[in-house]
Amino acid sequence: PILKVDKGLEPEKDGVQLMKPIPGLNDLLKRAKDLGVFGTKMRSVINMANAKGVKEIVDQQFEIGKQIIAAGLIPILEPEVNIKSPEKAEAEVLLKRYLLEHLNTLGPDDKVMLKLSLPSVDNFYKECIDHSNVVRVVALSGGYSRDEANVILARQNRMIASFSRALLEGLVYSMSDNDFDTSLNASIQSIFDASKT
């Protein structure tokens, strides 16, 4: 299991939204470890290509990530780049630079996962995927439709889906059990197929 540990986002500053403080994190991580939790997830958002803001996002993700590693869990670091940002590609350049800087400071046994927005340039995060400290790089759908997200994901080598919004697309409460299952199964299969490259 994966445990969401963040407490939401701060208001935007310097083009980004940092995570709010996470009180009691050490106690939470100890309980999670005792219960057999594999890792944690925590999300922050990058809206603009502001170097100061993007660096603060990555600094915060890794600072808390190291606390999670020390507790014996695998952190999923999720610095989401807003897909509607007019500076999305430029923000991704900054994000990758700071991710690699931090990854290169980790000890050989320190492992993280990265959950990133689908990139503007195909295979842009290859260096992160290949990094010895990275267990896996997964993609968030970030507001793309499922079809759009699948097309972009299929072009990314060794990046797999961690879609939520796109997974649930088209599912409604009024569906019969059979229609719901059929729709969900088709969604899962399409996302799985897009993840196989």
Rg (CA), the chain: 17
Q: Which of 78, 88, 92, 96 is catalytic?
A: 78
H or E element at residue 161: strand 160-161
Q: Which two tokens stand for residue 96?
A: 């990758």
Catalytic (active site) residue 78: yes
Catalytic (active site) residue 115: yes
Q: Which of 55, 88, 96, 115 is catalytic?
A: 115
Q: Are 142 and 118 in contact (CB under 8 A)?
A: yes
Show contacts of 131-140: CB within 8 Å, 24+ apart. Answer: 131/100, 131/103, 132/108, 133/103, 133/106, 133/108, 134/103, 135/74, 135/111, 136/160, 137/113, 138/76, 138/113, 138/114, 138/162, 139/115, 139/163, 140/78, 140/80, 140/115, 140/116, 140/164
Any idea which residue has 């699948």 for tokens? 150
Q: At a CB cut-off of 8 Å and minimum separation 6, what does 103 contact?
A: 112, 128, 131, 133, 134
- Active site residues per annotation: 78, 115
